[in-house]
Amino acid sequence: MTGSLLATASGLCVVTAAAALFVPDRIRALVAGLGTAAAGGFGVAAGVAAALGGRWSVWLPELLPLAGVRLSLDALGGVFVAVTGGVAVCTALYAIGYAREHGRVVHGVLPLFVASLLLVPAAASVSTLLVAWELMALTSLLLVLAEHAHRPEVGKAGVWYAVMTHLGFAAVLAGLALFAAHAGGESFDQLRAAQLPPAARNVVFLATLIGFASKAGIVPLHVWLPRAHPEAPSHVSALMSAAMVNMGVYGIVRVGLDLLGGGAPWWWLVTLAAGALSALYGILQAAVSSDMKRLLGYSTTENMGLVLLGVGAAGFFAVSATPVLAALALTAALLHVVNHAGFKTLLFLAAGSVLRATGVRDLDALGGLRTRMPSTTVLFAVGALCASALPPGNAFVSEWLLLQSLIHALPASGVAGAVTMPLAVGVIALSAGLAVATFVKAFGVGFLARPRGGQAERATESPATMVSGMAVAALCCAVLALAPTVVLPALTAAVSAVLAGPPAVSGQVRLQLNGVIGTISPLLIAIALGAAVALLLGALRLVANQRARRRARLWDCGAGPMTPRMEYTATSFAEPLQRVFDDVLAPESDVDVTPVKESAYLVERVRFQSRIPDRIEHRLYRPVLAATAALGRSARKLANGSVHHYLAYGFAALTGALIILAVLR
Amino acid sequence: MTALIQVILVVAGAPLLVGMMRQIRARLEGRAGAGMGQPWRDLRKLARKQPIAPEGTGWVFRLAPLLLAATAVVAAAAVPLVATDAPLDGVSDLFAVVALLALGSVALALGGLDTGTAFGGMGASREVTILALVEPTILVSVFALSVRAGSTNLAAIVGSVAENPWAVLSPVSLLAAAALAIVTIAETGRIPVDNPSTHLELTMIHEAMVLEYAGPDLALIEWASAARLSVLLGLLASLFTPWGIAGADVGPLALLVACLALVVKVAVLGALLAAGEVFMAKLRLFRVPELLAGSFLMALLAVAASFFLP
Amino acid sequence: MYVLLLDLACGAFLLAGVMVLWRRALSAIVWLFALQGLALAVLVVVLGLHQGELELIAVGAGVGALRAGLLPYLMRRALAAGGERRETQPLVNVATSLLVAAVLAMLAYAVSQPLVRLAPSPATQAVPVALTVLLVGFFVLVTRRRALSQVVGFLLIDNAVTATAFLTTNGVPLVVELGVSLDVLLAVLVLQVLTTRMRAAFGGTDLDELRELHD
């Protein structure tokens, strides 16, 4: 069942890719979109089937030379396949309307990207995983570069992405190759059974952690993310941000918890610290960013950081013999993966809708879209509510679970836990608070009030296909927010696939924690809120004045009508936060005063410029890049254009290798 | 049943609490004051005015007061004020109550942004900044309080303190109480974080956001702010001095006693707050993070103390 | 009752220590230091009452007189004589200092666990409190500019050492305590003389200006 569903999904992807290349331009978007959406649907079905007990595995020795392709889908992989499928359905529907002007390459590569995303969690051997991983990297790179002809920044973002993703690939390759060498086989079953020396285990874990974390956009390996996401087409951004980054989390859980089976506590404290750092740094950058898609990209770093924090806590609890909390933390992390996929798809698609209608991503130039794009506005509001972890949004539920797992860690679980967990709670709280500020800014400045620029003023609502793609995502968010118990069986199965122990959370309307005391019911909270609103409306009807609303001028201090230039922009909105976190963000500003020619005292023009560069990029990557460039320049002396020299290098290398061989043997 | 009592108490009592606090301030400052019932009279007057739709505002502006008031009502029903078995217990815990109140603030901030005036944007920006910085203190204090009870469910926390009244005097409780008191002041926009009676553009936070509201909308907002203040003060009272609070399944007499105890406790807290405001000046906006960092430190020390001074 | 009082004294001791980082006014810092001295005295007296040792109670009273009475009095006099009233520009800003203090508290808790495990009792369990104050005192020494803040930082360390001694052992012999107290008094007097000299020479007690002596 699971196998045929997954095979259908991947087959449909390949067929769609081929079809997209050959059908006429007129119907290409429709064919590609419907095909990919159908493949996504089958992906969801396969994932759900796998999560609910249909473990499936297959070995196809002919498909790949030497090792063959080994596929297997268990509950953990199933959750990720289902999430990918869901995201694919929304983005593919959306792309029918959105990606009409894109060429055949984009339409053809998108299904392949989806196929690679479906295959990564289903890989059951090192070589299969690496092939799928590389396919994912290449197809996503092609998609990021889709608009490179129109904007030069796209190329630059593509270079960053290509380099980072391949460095990550190299780290994963090194780690898993070492693992396979020690295990004496490369299928996951053999790896699971292998007995590695502790040093090798540490190296394997760290190498794979680095590789997978770079895919998940974890600080300090996140630099590609805020570059590639804004420059890719929006539906591609959605797929990357909601589905692809999850693969990093999947890899860490699979290798660290499942294949290596736990390990030392410090592994997980490192993971937790990386997650906490990403959560804070990501949301802080998002809070002060005024580019809508860049903001969403940084928010992805934040959310993946929270997930990794949960995974780290789960691993830590698992190796320090508190399985109840481990299961709870991992459930929370996986639920957050699902929730994040839902709202991030929605938000990126809505941002794309705005981008299509206005051509600008800069929040400072938007505004007033509420009347011009009503559906997009409402849908973005839903996404923003979910992303800011407030009830009745879906991220609230997963962050609540995560907090519950952390606060029940008592000193009994060791000094390290007792010291780490309060700090982790503080980090989650601050990132949740900053997320609220970020999304109030994104929604309030981007969509409310009056337009600040001509493009925003001329915006029109997106076509029905795009809105339907967003609506599906919004519906998923709503279901996840109000009835998170719907996905609990699948998550519980996924958790028990890697951690022993009873299910952590149960319940129908109420979420009931097992092993520790804690209950919550998002549905009843939402109902109570609705009842309170109804009550208040009734009370107002009884006591308040019932006349129709009178239009009134805004309070302008008597200085004439307010112009849009007087509105608060995203930059000014974030200014207090920027000031508070001045030491962390290190904003750069320069004031440029041009005096009148005749006199130095009369000012003709004052230019003020302020930027908030990514500090990690500046401090960490610039020196490395500079050093690499210097090395390259010095190496250039070797290449002086003489063919004889080049031949001599080859000859010298060959003889050198032979001499070494002769000496060693 | 208890939910209904609590909501009625908060609905009726919140404006009186604000009136009492204003009266205390007036007396301490040598003024006669308008009397305790003045907020109710203001509300009545506002409710009878014609509602207004400022130019360029939309559904967000109109929904915000309703949502703000609704979160206050739900919080009033969910927090154990008169009885430990608040009916929404098990549905929402301390985290949820905190998040609900934050939702109310967010609604109002969006309402302020929707006007498109500089005042609205400024107020919203400052409000969410403070909201973001307050969050760590709240959650870490919740952590400290939940260590003894083993849960974040409000009934469990309040119940565990009610069983062991001396525990209130432990450093954990005192530190957490101090941290939460600072946070309450910040959340409800009182001095030294915000001045509820200022209309000077450089210092406004809450008032800047609600500048465009008038008539019934403003009445709703004023009432909701008062209700949030009373719920938060009531929560502080229940968390740290749950004396007189009714247990589960008790008769009407115990409930009556509990109501009276609640009124007295909240009135005392309000009086203290009002008296403190007379002697304090508002902090500069960029000194507020220091205050909040201090409260975060206290909350974290409370957690640490719960480990090493059990 | 004993545990409650002990915990309260420790809590006050800790809070007074970290509040030094919070307040800018030097008079408030001196006041906090006096409060901490009082908390320390109460701590010692409570320990003495619990163990039923008259000597320890007497030591407690002495500690209180010195650290809550004499030393703050001296510092207040120095403050009244000198110009600066505020710690205007600490090297690390106040909000960050407070967060650092929070981390230091966690660190102190982590490193003192082996010590506590040697002889778990309500008194030894409070050792992290003393250690936190010690680290905070060191941090004050590192980041604050005014000479008076430096003196307070130094005295915080001394308070912390004294508290650790009383919490871990059954009290220090009276002679040792007297000797240490005299040392502290002497150090404060020296520092006060130094402060006065500095003010006479440079017109301020910003320690960064001492660098000029090097040049």
- The yes-or-no verdict on residue A665 having pLDDT over 80 is no
Cα separation, C22 vs C35, whole angstroms: 15
> Residue type for A537, please?
L
- The yes-or-no verdict on residue A121 having pLDDT over 90 is yes
Give the start-to-end residue ranges of the domains of chain A.
264-541, 615-664
- Give yes or no for C193 touching B (CB within 8 A): no
Among residues A84, A73, A72, A97, the alpha carbon closest in space to that of A41 is found at A84
Chain CA centroid to CA C118, Å: 26
Q: Which residues of C touch A (CB under 8 A)?
A: 93, 95-96, 103, 106-107, 109-110, 113
Cα separation, A363 vs B155, whole angstroms: 44
Q: What are phi and psi of A590, to 5 degrees?
A: -135, 140
Among residues A137, A294, A138, A148, the alpha carbon closest in space to that of A223 is found at A294
- The yes-or-no verdict on residue A144 having pLDDT over 70 is yes
Among residues B104, B99, B236, the alpha carbon closest in space to that of B181 is found at B236
Among residues A141, A259, A122, A109, the alpha carbon closest in space to that of A190 is found at A259
Residues A14, A115: contact at Cβ < 8 Å? yes
Cα separation, A47 vs A50, whole angstroms: 5
User: What integer pLDDT is reported at residue C183 of this predicted model?
Assistant: 73
| Confidence tier at B310 by pLDDT (50, 70, 90) | low
Q: Which residues of B touch C8 (CB under 8 A)?
A: 169-171, 174
Residue in the structure block whose two tokens are 């090097």: C214
* pLDDT tens for each residue of A332-380: 999 999 999 999 999 999 999 999 999 999 999 999 999 999 999 999 9
Question: Average pLDDT of B133-152?
Answer: 90
Shortest CA gap B297–chain C (Å): 5
Q: At what angle do helices A415-447 and A292-319 cross, to 10 degrees?
A: 160
Average of per-residue pLDDT values in chain B: 90
* pLDDT tens for each residue of B19-32: 999 999 999 999 99
User: What integer pLDDT is reported at residue C171 of this predicted model?
Assistant: 57
The full DSSP string for A59-119 is EETTTSTTT-EEEEE-HHHHHHHHHHHHHHHHHHHHHHHHSTTS-HHHHHHHHHHHHHHHH
Cα separation, B6 vs B84, whole angstroms: 12
Reported residue count of chain C is: 215
- The yes-or-no verdict on residue C215 having pLDDT over 60 is no
DSSP character for A392?
A: T
Interface of B with A in 159-218 (CB under 8 A): 211-212, 214-216
Cα separation, B95 vs C167, whole angstroms: 37
For the record, the structure tokens of A108 come out as 């053809």
Residues A146, A236: contact at Cβ < 8 Å? yes
User: What integer pLDDT is reported at residue C202 of this predicted model?
Assistant: 65
| Confidence tier at B166 by pLDDT (50, 70, 90) | confident
Question: Average pLDDT of A206-210?
Answer: 96
* pLDDT tens for each residue of A470-493: 999 999 999 999 999 999 999 999
User: What integer pLDDT is reported at residue A237 of this predicted model?
Assistant: 94
Residues A348, A234: contact at Cβ < 8 Å? yes
Highest mean pLDDT among A516-520, B104-108, B280-284: B104-108
Neighbours of A458 (CB within 10 A): 12
Among residues A314, A325, A213, A316, the alpha carbon closest in space to that of A267 is found at A316
Cα separation, A278 vs A246, whole angstroms: 15
- The yes-or-no verdict on residue A282 having pLDDT over 90 is yes
β-pairing, A519-520 with A550-552? Answer: unpaired
Torsion of CA C193, C198, C204, C209, to 10 degrees: -140
β-pairing, B52-54 with A550-552? Answer: parallel
Reported residue count of chain B is: 310
Among residues B138, B191, B158, the alpha carbon closest in space to that of B85 is found at B158
Biggest CA pair distance of chain A: 100
Are C102 and B309 in contact (CB < 8 Å)?
Answer: no
β-strand partners of C25: C86
* pLDDT tens for each residue of B197-224: 877 767 788 888 999 999 999 999 999 9
Burial of C210 (0-12, 13-18, 19+ CB in 10 A): middle
Are A580 and B118 in contact (CB < 8 Å)?
Answer: no
Please tell me which residue of chain B has the smallest CA distance to C113.
Answer: B308
CA angle, B138 as apex, B137 and B140 as ends, to 5°?
65
Cα separation, A286 vs A475, whole angstroms: 25
Cβ contacts below 8 Å, chain A against chain C, sum to: 16
Q: Which residues of C touch A415 (CB under 8 A)?
A: 109-110, 113
Neighbours of B209 (CB within 10 A): 29
Cα separation, B78 vs B71, whole angstroms: 10
Minimal Cβ distance to B96: which of A391, A407, A550: A391
In terms of DSSP H, where are the helices of A253-291?
265-288
Among residues B102, B66, B57, B97, the alpha carbon closest in space to that of A444 is found at B57
Are B308 and C106 in contact (CB < 8 Å)?
Answer: no
Chain CA centroid to CA C100, Å: 17
The full DSSP string for A442-493 is HHHHHHSS--SSHHHHT--PPPHHHHHHHHHHHHHHHHHHH-GGGTHHHHHH
Spatial neighbors of A635 by CB under 8 A, at least 6 apart, are: none
**In a mutagenesis test of the A interface, which of B68, B143, B295, B307 is the best target, namely the one with the most A β-carbons within 10 Å?**
B143
Q: Which residues of B touch A572 (CB under 8 A)?
A: 121, 125
- Ranges assigned E (strand) in A295-402: none
Q: For residue A424, what is the enclosing H or E element?
A: helix A415-447
* pLDDT tens for each residue of B29-87: 999 999 999 999 999 999 999 999 998 899 999 999 999 999 999 999 999 888 887 66
Terminal C-alpha separation, chain B = 36
Are A449 and B307 in contact (CB < 8 Å)?
Answer: no
Minimal Cβ distance to C109: which of A419, A580, A583: A419
- The yes-or-no verdict on residue C205 having pLDDT over 70 is no
Cα separation, B41 vs A139, whole angstroms: 67
Are B90 and A521 in contact (CB < 8 Å)?
Answer: yes
β-strand partners of A58: A71
| Confidence tier at B309 by pLDDT (50, 70, 90) | low
pTM here is 0.93
Q: What are phi and psi of A530, to 5 degrees?
A: -60, -45
Cα-based distances in Å from A219 to A174, C58, C60: 21, 57, 52
Among residues A565, A623, A617, the alpha carbon closest in space to that of A588 is found at A617
For the record, the structure tokens of A596 come out as 């009148």
How many Å is the Cα radius of gyration of chain A? Answer: 26
β-strand partners of A363: none
Helix, strand, or coil (residue A533): helix
- The yes-or-no verdict on residue A639 having pLDDT over 60 is yes
User: What integer pLDDT is reported at residue B245 of this predicted model?
Assistant: 85
Question: Average pLDDT of A606-614?
Answer: 87
Chain CA centroid to CA C165, Å: 14
Minimal Cβ distance to A449: which of B113, B135, B215: B113
User: What integer pLDDT is reported at residue C112 of this predicted model?
Assistant: 86
* pLDDT tens for each residue of B292-302: 999 999 999 99
User: What integer pLDDT is reported at residue A394 of this predicted model?
Assistant: 93
Pick the range with the lowest mean pLDDT from A280-289, A292-301, A525-534, C109-118: C109-118
For the record, the structure tokens of B33 come out as 């004051």
Among residues B200, B197, B229, the alpha carbon closest in space to that of B14 is found at B229
Q: Which residues of B touch C125 (CB under 8 A)?
A: 308-310
The full DSSP string for chain B is -HHHHHHHHHHHHHHHHHHHHHHHHHHHTT-----TTHHHHHHHHHHTSPPEEETT--HHHHHHHHHHHHHHHHHHHHS-SSBSS-TTBTTB-HHHHHHHHHHHHHHHHHHHHHT--HHHHHHHHHHHHHHHHHHHHHHHHHHHHHHHHTS--HHHHHHHHHH-GGGGGSHHHHHHHHHHHHHHHHHTT-TTT--TT---TTT-SHHHHTTT--HHHHHHHHHHHHHHHHHHHHHHHHHH--TT-B-SS--HHHHHHHHHHHHHHHHHHHHHHHHHHHH--PPPGGGHHHHHHHHHHHHHHHHHHHHH--
- The yes-or-no verdict on residue C58 having pLDDT over 80 is yes
Neighbours of A283 (CB within 10 A): 27
Are C94 and B290 in contact (CB < 8 Å)?
Answer: yes
Q: What are phi and psi of B52, to 5 degrees?
A: -125, 145
User: What integer pLDDT is reported at residue A54 of this predicted model?
Assistant: 72
Among residues C166, C162, C161, C167, the alpha carbon closest in space to that of C121 is found at C167
Cα separation, A148 vs A309, whole angstroms: 36
Minimal Cβ distance to C105: which of B304, B309, B310: B304
Cα-based distances in Å from A556 to A559, B60, B117, B258: 6, 21, 8, 49
Residues A104, A28: contact at Cβ < 8 Å? yes
User: What integer pLDDT is reported at residue A272 of this predicted model?
Assistant: 96
Give the start-to-end residue ranges of the domains of chain B.
2-308
Are B293 and C18 in contact (CB < 8 Å)?
Answer: no
Minimal Cβ distance to B171: which of C7, C102, C127: C7
Average of per-residue pLDDT values in chain A: 91
Question: Average pLDDT of A524-553?
Answer: 92
